[in-house]
Amino acid sequence: MVKSSKKRLVIIDDDANLRDELSAFFAASYQVATYPGTPATLKALRDAPPDALLIDLDLQGIKGFDVLRLMQSTPELRPTPVVVLSASNDFETFEQAHRLGIADFVAKPFRVETLGEKLALALDKRHRRVSGRLKLGALLVQSGLVSQAQLDEALEHQQREGGRLGENLVKSGRVSEEDLSAALAGQMHIKVVDLRVTTPVAAAVGLLPRDFIVRHRVLPIRIHDDGAIELAMTNPLDIVAIDEVRLRTKRRVIPVIVTESAFDEAITIFTSKRGKLRELDDESGQVVRAEEIASAQDASTIEIVDSVISDAVGMKASDIHIEPREDVLQIRCRIDGVLHDLREYPLELQPGVLSRLKIMGSMDIAERRLPQDGRISFMTADDEPVDLRVASIPSLYGENITIRILEVSPLPPTLSSLGLSPESLERYEGAIKRPDGGIVICGPTGCGKSTTLYTTLELIKSKERKIYTVEDPIERKLAGIVQTETRPIIGLTFAQALRALVRADPDVIMVGEIRDLETAKMAADAAITGHLVFTTMHTQDASSGVYRLIEMGLPAYLVAAAFRCVVAQRLLRRLCRHCRKQETMTEAKWRELGWGDPPAKKINVWTPVGCPKCFGTGYYGRLGLYEVMTIDDDMRNMISAAANVNELRLAARARNVESIRDDGLRKVLDGSTSYLELLRVTT
Ligand SMILES: [Zn+2]
């Protein structure tokens, strides 16, 4: 009998029908031996190593992976190419099988011809397994996207010129980026995700430090209900990166493939303002617990704190909230006035993170029962210093820390870019061009009063004018202006500071806020004695601002004489222009919202959607709503004669002073913002 020249193929499958079918098909080209997959199968393999192995992972008697492990650990069996059949069409099974050095993976249901081709390829020397590493080239040939010849050519080119194989293939025009992703995804049993359409969820992105994201080119985009993270990768073959992510996050990783260019775009958005911490001087003589210092100085704690601040600054957040909860350390940040989840960390990290922030803020890390505050200097990548104010407050689960990020973004270049309508702008400019008189900006906390004031001061400052401010706190440093911060603890109140600076020969004074009669009186006196005075108050509209001053006890005639312009302001989020969507609102709905007569039968409004450019929020940047009321002689008489707030309001409307709501409705109709946003800030 002549010994068969056919290669020996072992098929392991416990499904007798499938075994027979495969055996019949492969008998033409191979010398086939089949096993049902029992412990005896392992012995048979060891005794007579085959030329190739085809194994169904879904076995009853033994574990398919145990066979793969045996193949891997037995020197005589290691070179045998293994093709795996599996009903589990998921990445994890695929990945685990590849880690055990398989040549190929075929998911059920399958065409037996496909299996035949893959087996032939596997026996081809060039496709021999390289233990635990996935080969892009082999996968691409298997997918049919490129031929073996084309791959060889590309590999040769790579040897000569360097570069990444996938990149070279795309550059050569051989394949498109999208085809490359699709082919890899198909071969690896993973999803393709279009990062231009799918917005990464901030809580997911926050699971990894930014440096890591950039270095490994991976971006967590979503957290599944079971805690697994969906990881966008340009190269899902990078098992090392997957391992690192798994290790760092202690979560299951579900890779998805994204194109290089979409990834670059997403990363540019997320890394627009990369920052690093300015080195802090050692606070000598501070009594702190050694292990807390050690924990706070631990490289990973430093990296976490650094990346949290960097990310928040990059996302143009105004505040960071570090909140210990019962089971997790929650980190949220306020962007455009609204809180968003940024990250979650295991509670073990809490002491280190809190201590690190307190050390940076020169606070007492041993004091946990009393509120404290401090300051941190932070350096952006463009070497622009950002000032942070840190405040700690004891809470049920430990200290809560909030970090206020003092403005770093440039001021709006003009008043009109704040959102003032041409009519309002004209009135306001008329008031600020005068050398004297009081100007009051009214509105709740966080309505953008300071931005309006800072922008105004920048516009009116000149060498010939001495400008002073008294603020609590100084939110932004302005060049060429003398800024003072109140310090009630040592008795430096608004009134105290104001008293000092009216004697310091000012031209323009900005008083952060009028809270008491003494301050109100001094501000009014300064305004009628040839100074331009700016200030703010907490009232809903312009007319009630005037009356608040009278209620405080300032004589009505003085209010009438001193104040020339009262502005009420709100801040709302501007719709993201890249993703906002048009919608029709019914007349009935318009009325229901309490907005009176609708402007048309069919009212077109815009609603937020969310895209990568706006971090999925649907909004990007902010927009002011303004009521700008200048006080003319008739109104002055009304105020002196003790007219009530409604009469003043009516007088303003009669002079075409737009109310906050009317200004808002105009901005809803032109698509600058959504009606939901208007409701949020005006109700
Ligand atoms: Zn958007």
Q: How remote is the CA of residue 191 from the centroid of ligand 1, in Å?
A: 23
- Pick the closest to residue 498 from 523, 516, 525, 531 (CA basis): 523
Length of the chain: 683
Could you report the per-residue pLDDT of 442-495, keeping only the tens digit for each? 999 888 898 999 999 999 999 889 999 999 888 888 888 999 888 776 778 899
**Residue 15's domain is classified under what CATH number?**
3.40.50.2300
Q: How remote is the CA of residue 199 from the centroid of ligand 1, in Å?
A: 9
Q: How remote is the CA of residue 184 from the centroid of ligand 1, in Å?
A: 29
Could you report the per-residue pLDDT of 613-622, keeping only the tens digit for each? 777 788 888 8
CB burial of residue 578 (10 Å; 0-12, 13-18, 19+)? middle
Q: How many CB atoms lie within 10 A of CB 35?
A: 22
Residues 389 and 426 placed together within one structural domain of the fold: no
* Report for 192-196, 331-335, 631-635: range of highest mean pLDDT: 631-635
CB 17 within 8 A of CB 39: no
Is residue 591, in this structure, part of any structural domain at all? Answer: no
Q: What pTM was computed for the model?
A: 0.56
Long-range contacts of 432-435 (CB under 8 A, 24+ apart): 432/456, 432/459, 432/460, 432/532, 432/565, 433/460, 434/532, 434/564, 435/507, 435/530, 435/532
Could you report the per-residue pLDDT of 67-113, keeping only the tens digit for each? 888 888 888 888 888 999 998 878 888 888 887 878 888 888 888 88
Q: How remote is the CA of residue 618 from the centroid of ligand 1, in Å?
A: 5
**Cα–Cα distance for residue pair 511/523, rounded to 1 Å:** 8
CB 436 within 8 A of CB 575: no
Single residue among 380, 405, 430 that ends a domain in this structure: 405
CB 248 within 8 A of CB 292: no
Q: How remote is the CA of residue 329 from the centroid of ligand 1, in Å?
A: 29
- Pick the closest to residue 311 from 372, 251, 381, 410 (CA basis): 381
Is residue 163, in this structure, part of any structural domain at all? Answer: no
Could you report the per-residue pLDDT of 509-555, keeping only the tens digit for each? 999 999 999 999 999 999 999 999 999 999 999 999 999 999 999 99
**Residue 493's domain is classified under what CATH number?**
3.40.50.300
Helix H, strand E, coil C: the string for 101-168 is CCCEEEECCCCHHHHHHHHHHHHCHHHCCCCCCCCHHHHHHHHCCCCHHHHHHHHHHHHHHCCCHHHH
Q: How remote is the CA of residue 35 from the centroid of ligand 1, in Å?
A: 57
Location of structure tokens 């056919």: 6
Q: Note the pLDDT of residue 296.
A: 57
Q: Note the pLDDT of residue 409.
A: 64
Q: How remote is the CA of residue 179 from the centroid of ligand 1, in Å?
A: 27
**Cα–Cα distance for residue pair 339/317, rounded to 1 Å:** 9
Residues 194 and 59 placed together within one structural domain of the fold: no
Single residue among 242, 270, 298 that ends a domain in this structure: 270
**Residue 350's domain is classified under what CATH number?**
3.30.450.90
Indicate the number of domains in the chain: 4
Q: How remote is the CA of residue 616 from the centroid of ligand 1, in Å?
A: 6
Q: How remote is the CA of residue 147 from the centroid of ligand 1, in Å?
A: 41
* Residues sharing a CB contact under 8 Å with residue 217, sequence separation 6 or more, in sequence order: 233, 234, 235, 238, 241, 263
Is residue 101, in this structure, part of any structural domain at all? Answer: yes
Residues 332 and 199 placed together within one structural domain of the fold: no
Is residue 167, in this structure, part of any structural domain at all? Answer: no
User: Which residue range(s) make up the domain with 548?
Assistant: 416-571+623-665
**Residue 211's domain is classified under what CATH number?**
3.30.300.160
CA distances from 198 to 220, 221, 582, 609, 613 (A): 12, 8, 20, 11, 11
Single residue among 236, 270, 304 that ends a domain in this structure: 270
Residues 520 and 636 placed together within one structural domain of the fold: yes
Residues 480 and 543 placed together within one structural domain of the fold: yes
Q: How remote is the CA of residue 195 from the centroid of ligand 1, in Å?
A: 13
Residues 124 and 54 placed together within one structural domain of the fold: yes
Q: What are the beta bridge partners of residue 35?
A: 12
Percent of the chain past pLDDT 90, that is, above it, reads: 34
Residues 62 and 206 placed together within one structural domain of the fold: no
Summary count for the chain: helices (H), strands (E) = 27, 25
Residues 399 and 420 placed together within one structural domain of the fold: no
Q: Note the pLDDT of residue 281.
A: 33
Is residue 554, in this structure, part of any structural domain at all? Answer: yes
Residues 297 and 258 placed together within one structural domain of the fold: no
Q: Note the pLDDT of residue 316.
A: 78
Output the furthest CA–CA distance in the chain (Å, rounded). 125
Residues 305 and 343 placed together within one structural domain of the fold: yes
Q: How remote is the CA of residue 608 from the centroid of ligand 1, in Å?
A: 8
Q: How remote is the CA of residue 409 from the centroid of ligand 1, in Å?
A: 20
